[in-house]
């Protein structure tokens, strides 16, 4: 999804940033503020969330802040369905999630993939 | 806490998000397919309890999550199997395994109950995360609505691609009621299909927080205030932090 959307939008993305954290090689508008906000939410630390949310609000405004919160929240649900039901990771993105992309993104080092191999 | 979702929020929240939260809390409090309303709300309380469970923190930090010994900090309202399912799925979902799933099911939990509880975990994860992200406390739990679970088992549900049974689009029947917007939906959409009502309830929330199904593969369109690459960098990073390989 990330790869396809960035190609269409003509943004640059380094897939290793998915696991390693954002680098200068990824060039999506406001990515740093968005990723910092998402990371703070995953960490569930209210002070960090508040600071990151204010940065995002200052950069992009109310509606983008709400939609970034909503997107982050949605993926707190998706990951739990995928992992608790045991949906094969090879079926992600309608089966287009090829091993090379998993390798480039660092996903092959995840526990679930390691356990399967 | 607040009994009305997004009450006193400092941000102007999209009305469809507000409405789906209200609707979702009502559905969680109602009798489900295998659990009654009171037990479904007990699951929610246990989900919230898991976030401060010291044993879950130890598991999360451990290199070998199944080698850690101890006991979960519990509300006391649910069985050991329900507690184990809820706490690990909340705290360390990326390291759940098929043998662990089999062990939970061998305790005293049916496949239908397992899937329904996962559906509640997913819904509450979305809603509590969204309110927290916007600086709000957890929404108060509503009162349970009396009634019996429907105990509906889709005739087409079977174990195939995943660890738990799934209804493939070609196996869906009329008594399942509407399941899929398209026969090509991804496996993440099919995940809760053994309990159709849970699946519909979850996706009503997911569609407003992320994207309705018809927009997911339209990468050149954005119906939100952030662009698709911006949404997807969030999605990818959140999934990675949960060690979700899907």
- Taking only the tens place, the pLDDT of each residue in A66-114 is 999 999 999 999 999 999 999 987 777 666 666 777 777 777 777 777 7
Examine the domain organization and report whether B43 and B141 are in the same domain.
yes
Share the mean pLDDT of chain B: 95
Percent of chain A with pLDDT over 90: 50
Confirm whether B50 is domain-assigned: yes
Residue B25 banded pLDDT, cuts 50, 70, 90: very high
Percent of chain B with pLDDT over 90: 85
Asked if the Cβ–Cβ distance from B242 to A41 is below 8 Å, we say no
Output the pLDDT for position A11.
74
Output the pLDDT for position A14.
74
Examine the domain organization and report whether B147 and B231 are in the same domain.
no
Examine the domain organization and report whether B123 and B30 are in the same domain.
yes
Counted domains in chain B = 2
Examine the domain organization and report whether B143 and B26 are in the same domain.
yes
The whole-number average pLDDT for the span A53-59 is 98
Residue B215, pLDDT above cutoff 70: yes
Selected residues 103-142 of chain B with any CB under 8 Å from a CB in chain A: 115, 118-119, 121-123, 125-127, 129-130, 132-135
Confirm whether B231 is domain-assigned: yes
Confirm whether B2 is domain-assigned: no
The phi, psi pair for A16, rounded to 5°, reads -70, -15
Confirm whether B196 is domain-assigned: no
- Taking only the tens place, the pLDDT of each residue in B4-14 is 899 999 999 99
Output the pLDDT for position A7.
64
Counted domains in chain A = 1
Domain of A15? 2-116
Residue B124, pLDDT above cutoff 80: yes
Confirm whether B80 is domain-assigned: yes
What single string gives the DSSP state of each residue in A14-57? -TTHHHH---TT-B-TTHHHHHHHHHHHHHT-HHHHHHHHHHHH
Confirm whether B28 is domain-assigned: yes
- Taking only the tens place, the pLDDT of each residue in B35-73 is 999 999 999 999 999 999 999 999 999 999 999 999 999
Of B93, B97, B229, the CB nearest to A115: B97
- Taking only the tens place, the pLDDT of each residue in A21-30 is 787 778 899 9
Confirm whether B8 is domain-assigned: no
Neighboring chain B residues of A44 at a CB cutoff of 8 Å = 51, 132
Q: Tell me, what's the ipTM?
A: 0.96
Report which of residues B2 and B114 the model is more confident about.
B114
Asked if the Cβ–Cβ distance from B210 to A75 is below 8 Å, we say yes
Domain of B224? 217-246
Confirm whether B163 is domain-assigned: no
How many Cβ atoms sit within 10 Å of the Cβ of residue B186?
A: 18
Residue A63, pLDDT above cutoff 90: yes
Give chain B as a 3 state SS string: CECCCCCCCCCCCCHHHHHHHHHHHHHHHCCCCCCCHHHHHHHHHHHHHHCCCHHHHHHHHCCCCCCCCCCCCCCCCCCHHHHHHHHHHHHCHHHCCHHHHHHHHHHCCCHHHHHHHHHHHHHHHHHHHHHHHCCCCCECCCCCCCCCCCCCCCCCCECCCCCCCECCHHHCCHHHCCCCCCCCCCHHHHCCCCCHHHHHHHHHHHHHHCCCHHHHCCCCCCCCCCCHHHHHHHHHHHHHHCCCCC
- Taking only the tens place, the pLDDT of each residue in B148-206 is 999 999 999 999 889 999 999 999 999 999 999 888 888 889 999 999 999 999 999 99
């Amino acid at each position: 999804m990330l790869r396809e959307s960035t190609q269409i939008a003509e943004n640059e993305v380094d897939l290793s940033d998915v696991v390693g954290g954002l680098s200068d090689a990824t060039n999506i508008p406001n990515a740093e503020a968005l990723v910092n906000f998402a990371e703070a939410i995953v960490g569930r630390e209210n002070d960090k969330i508040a600071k990151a949310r204010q940065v995002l609000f200052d950069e992009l405004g109310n509606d983008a802040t709400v939609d970034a919160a909503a997107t982050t929240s949605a993926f707190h649900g998706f990951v739990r369905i995928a992992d608790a039901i045991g949906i094969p990771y090879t079926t992600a993105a309608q089966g287009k999630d090829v091993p090379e992309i998993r390798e480039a993104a660092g996903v092959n080092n995840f526990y679930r993939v390691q356990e399967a191999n | 806490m607040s009994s009305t979702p997004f009450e006193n929020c400092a941000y102007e929240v999209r009305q469809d998000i507000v409405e789906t939260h209200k609707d979702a809390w009502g559905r969680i409090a109602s009798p489900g397919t295998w659990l009654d309303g009171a037990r479904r709300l007990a699951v929610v309380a246990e989900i919230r309890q898991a976030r401060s469970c010291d044993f879950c923190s130890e598991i999360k930090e451990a290199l070998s999550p199944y080698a850690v010994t101890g006991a979960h900090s519990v509300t006391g309202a649910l069985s050991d199997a329900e507690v184990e399912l809820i706490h690990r799925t909340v705290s360390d979902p990326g390291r759940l395994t098929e043998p662990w799933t089999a062990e939970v099911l061998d305790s005293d939990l049916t496949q239908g109950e397992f899937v329904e509880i996962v559906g509640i975990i997913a819904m509450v994860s979305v809603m509590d995360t969204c309110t927290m992200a916007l600086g709000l406390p957890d929404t108060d739990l509503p009162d349970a609505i009396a009634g019996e679970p429907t105990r509906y088992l889709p005739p087409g549900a079977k174990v195939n691609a995943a660890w738990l049974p799934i209804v493939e689009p070609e196996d869906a029947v009329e008594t399942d009621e509407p399941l899929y917007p398209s026969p090509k939906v991804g496996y993440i959409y099919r995940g809760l299909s053994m309990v159709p009502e849970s699946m519909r309830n979850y996706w009503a929330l997911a569609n407003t927080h992320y994207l309705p199904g018809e927009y997911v593969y339209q990468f050149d369109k954005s119906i939100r205030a952030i662009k698709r690459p911006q949404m997807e960098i969030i999605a990818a990073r959140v999934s990675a932090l949960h060690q979700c390989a899907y």
